[in-house]
Chain A
Amino acid sequence: GAVVSQHPSWVICKSGTSVKIECRSLDFQATTMFWYRQFPKQSLMLMATSNEGSKATYEQGVEKDKFLINHASLTLSTLTVTSAHPEDSSFYICSRSGGLSNEQFFGPGTRLTVL
């Protein structure tokens, strides 16, 4: 069964509004989770590493103030897209590591469409 869940699975919002996406680790206390963005017909690009109890680590070129990440508990990380614009429309996927294994477990993704 799924070990990582995301909510919502899809969301449509107006330009200028903020959207929060939740990522939950269902079976494992994850001190680290990851957020990816996938544009149509492209690969996954790592946006940031979410660290429980501390600040997220953002990849080069990702705006920290626009993509707010909060990892307040060992099972929940949230990504908030602030003041969303149409170019933020994408498929957002979170993941967690597999403990001692290097395998990543991915959530089902969230489709964001900004009108």
Chain B
Amino acid sequence: AQSVTQLGSHVSVSEGALVLLRCNYSSSVPPYLFWYVQYPNQGLQLLLKYTSAATLVKGINGFEAEFKKSETSFHLTKPSAHMSDAAEYFCALYNFNKFYFGSGTKLNVKP
């Protein structure tokens, strides 16, 4: 079965601090993995994707994620949070022509 689990529905960090959003997956075949960001009342915007090439994936706005097969994880990080990073983040898995989304993590950035 395919599934995505995001640990922590809410994460709060100070501006300038490290951002770490956790994502674990379950997949019966090698997965394609994605991180999307959603601002209020908007659709989803792709941050980055893993498609079986390099395990460390760099995305837009300074975000990156590392695919760890042994841990079935694809955590999202950013070295220094900006106020503009406050949004909801979704981890997603793509297999068999379908997307499976995690429940989302709302990131709050404190000044």
Contact = CB atoms under 8 A, between A and B. Distances in A.
Contacts of A109: 41-43
Given A34-B99, A103-B49, A104-B99, A43 B44 contact: no
Interface residues of B, number: 21
Given A43-B104, A108-B43, A102 B94 contact: yes
A104 B92 CA distance: 10
A94 to B, nearest CB: 9
Given A34-B99, A43-B102, A93 B43 contact: yes
B56 interface: no
A46 to B, nearest CB: 6
B102 A102 contact: no
A43 B37 CA distance: 12
A104 B38 CA distance: 14
B98 A44 contact: no
17 contacts: A6-B43, A42-B104, A43-B101, A44-B90, A44-B99, A46-B98, A46-B99, A95-B43, A102-B32, A103-B34, A103-B46, A104-B34, A104-B92, A104-B99, A106-B44, A109-B41, A111-B41
Given A102-B49, A109-B41, 17 more contacts: A4-B43, A6-B43, A34-B99, A42-B103, A43-B101, A43-B104, A49-B97, A93-B43, A101-B51, A102-B51, A103-B34, A103-B46, A104-B94, A104-B99, A105-B46, A106-B44, A109-B42
The 4 nearest A-B residue pairs measured at CB: A106-B43, A106-B44, A108-B43, A43-B101
